Amino acid sequence: MSFNKFNLHNKILANVEAQGYTEPTPIQAQSIQPIMDGKDVMGLAQTGTGKTAAFVLPILQRLIREPKRNVRALIIAPTRELTEQTNKVIAQLGQRTGLKGLSIYGGVNIGSQITSLKRGVNIITACPGRLLDHINRGTIDVSQVDILVLDEADHMFDMGFLPDLKKIVAKLPSKRQTLMFSATMPKDIRILADKVLNNPITVKIGHIAPVSSVDHSFYPVGTNRKNDLLRNILENHDIGPVLVFTRTKVRAKRVAQHLDRSGYEATALHGNLTQNNRRKALEGFGRGKYKILVATDVAARGIDVQGVSHVINYDIPDTVDAYTHRIGRTGRASETGDAFTFVTGSDKGPASSIKRILGDRLKHCVLEEFTSRSSSDESQAQKDRYNKQRNNARTGSKNRSNFRSKPKVKHMSRQGDRPS
Ligand code: AMP
């Protein structure tokens, strides 16, 4: 199948080609036409399958015929990074169409957002809190919104976002098209989602389970041996850009500092950072300035950093859904990747849920040396190793030799490239 089939405007088609997309991905193949036909759509697809273009292309097609200065499409997403990323896709696929996108989120000066809004914006991608702030101030008029998209919809319906989301939806015209996209859709959330959708078509691509282009391994580890195991893995594997996930912001910061002191180019990404520092961390990782990004789940949803070779769950995620989202950061767009999860004695609950989903695909890697708590002898050995590494780091380059350069992303060439 080719993109020609959708009768997209020439300018949009040229932008699709410029992105190197030769064929629609399965989610695009199945949802673009119904969206262009004006239907409400619930798109369930694994992360990294091309969901963003699946809704951005029909939005551009609809608005290109009547580009006005007012806001006609509203995309709501849970994280600031995701709004920026979606806005970037809108800019790429919407080049030379005259349509303008803007991302809106808190933690940054509202004045510059208001200035941009005054210049005229057609497609807003926003986090709920700041969006509501603008609506209440009268700086964003949503009365002419034709299309509402809820990206990472399962997350948008969780309790933290729900009150704001309800207020925003109440301000929108009731006659509109609503689209929802998500990798996961628990039953109770689906009930809430159905209240916002009008007779939706559900497009489901593959099992809502971790992507199959990723190898999954569990590493049993003593609670205080995680840093040692992490460094051992970094030293002994052919590793490209790595995303390390921790449960808390403090831990993300500490692990990144520990790696940095051990001679690795690492930085942290978590909710305690200013937006500017979050952007710097993410951009630095994307450009290859940092080889390791240690993040909380703020980075797990929707972020498209290409070429991530390994996702390491320093702390196991609480649910299979969270695992799926984290692991979706690697193995994107037909690449392959590795997912390593550290499992301590107290992680039995989430470990067995993940194991049930992965079945035979899950490998168990037992490195005896790291499975028990460290004795004082081990602690000393650990300190010695650490000091040695630190000295090496001081004398030598920080560019660890076992890091391979950023792999190139292969584009999806066939519909069947993703699991079904
Ligand atoms: P997403 O799921 O929207 O985050 O997209 C994941 C990755 O797939 C991004 O790097 C996109 O640029 C890429 N992508 C989206 N659509 C296509 C396509 N039709 N062919 C190849 N790559 C694509």
Q: How far is the CA of 48 from the centre of ligand 1 (A)?
A: 6
> pLDDT digit string (tens) for 7-56?
999 999 999 999 999 999 889 999 999 999 999 999 988 667 889 999 99
Minimum CA distance residue for ligand 1 atom 20:
21
How far is CA 38 from each of CA 193, 200, 232, rounded to the nearest angstrom? 18, 10, 53
- Note if the pTM is more than 0.85: no
Quick check: CB of 50 below 6 Å from ligand 1?
yes
CA of 156 to the centre of ligand 1 (A): 22
Name the residue of 2, 6, 304, 324 whose CB sits within 8 Å of the most ligand 1 atoms, as the mutation to test its pocket: 304
Task: Please name every residue paired with 179 in a beta bridge, in sequence order, or none if there are none.
Answer: 41, 149
CA distance 35 to 244: 36
Ligand 1 pocket residue status of 48, Cβ below 6 Å: yes
Confirm if 184 and 321 have CB atoms less than 8 A apart.
yes
Q: Which of 353, 265, 230, 334 is nearest to 20 (CA)?
A: 334
Neighbours of 343 (CB within 10 A): 19
Q: Is 350 in the pocket of ligand 1 (CB under 6 A)?
A: no
**Mean pLDDT of all residues in 107-129:** 95
Rounded Cα distance between 111 and 113, Å, is: 5
Could you tell me if the CB of 49 is within 6 A of ligand 1? yes
Superfamily of domain 214-412: P-loop containing nucleotide triphosphate hydrolases (3.40.50.300)
* Test site for ligand 1: of 17, 52, 182, most ligand atoms within 8 A of the Cβ: 52
pLDDT-based confidence at residue 321 (cuts at 50, 70, 90): confident
Per residue, what are the HEC states of 44-67? EECCCCCHHHHHHHHHHHHHHCCC
Mean pLDDT over residues 56-64, rounded?
96
CB neighbour burial string for 141-172, b if at least 16 within 10 angstroms, e if fewer: ebeebbbbbbbbbbbbbeeebeebbeebbeeb
Whose Cα sits closest to atom 5 in ligand 1? 50
Answer yes or no: is the C-beta of 52 below 6 A from any ligand 1 atom: yes
- Taking residues 230-243, report their average pLDDT: 91
- φ and ψ of 153, to 5 deg: -60, -35
CATH homologous superfamily for 3-204? P-loop containing nucleotide triphosphate hydrolases (3.40.50.300)
Q: Is the pLDDT of residue 71 over 80?
A: yes
The encoded tokens of residue 256 equal 């990144």
Using one digit for the tens of pLDDT, what is the confidence trace for 153-194? 888 887 678 899 999 999 999 999 999 998 777 777 788 888
Residue 83 has pLDDT above 90, yes or no: yes
Q: What angle do helix axes 80-93 and 275-287 make, rounded to 10 degrees? A: 60
Nearest to residue 385, comparing CAs of 239, 229, 254, 241? 229
**Please, where are the H alpha helices in 198-347?**
226-236, 249-261, 275-287, 320-327
pLDDT above 80 (res 143): yes
**Ligand 1 centroid to 56 CA: how many Å?**
12
HSE-up of residue 340 (Cα within 13 Å, Cβ side):
24
Tell me, in angstroms, the distance from the centre of ligand 1 to residue 168's CA: 29
Q: Are 242 and 291 in contact (CB under 8 A)?
A: yes
* Residue with more model confidence, 313 or 46: 313
Q: 46 CB under 6 A from ligand 1?
A: no
For β-strands 123-126 and 310-313, DSSP reports them as unpaired
As a whole number of Å, the end-to-end CA separation of the chain is 17
Span(s) in the chain for CATH 3.40.50.300: 3-204, 214-412
Residue 24 CB–ligand 1 contact under 6 Å: yes
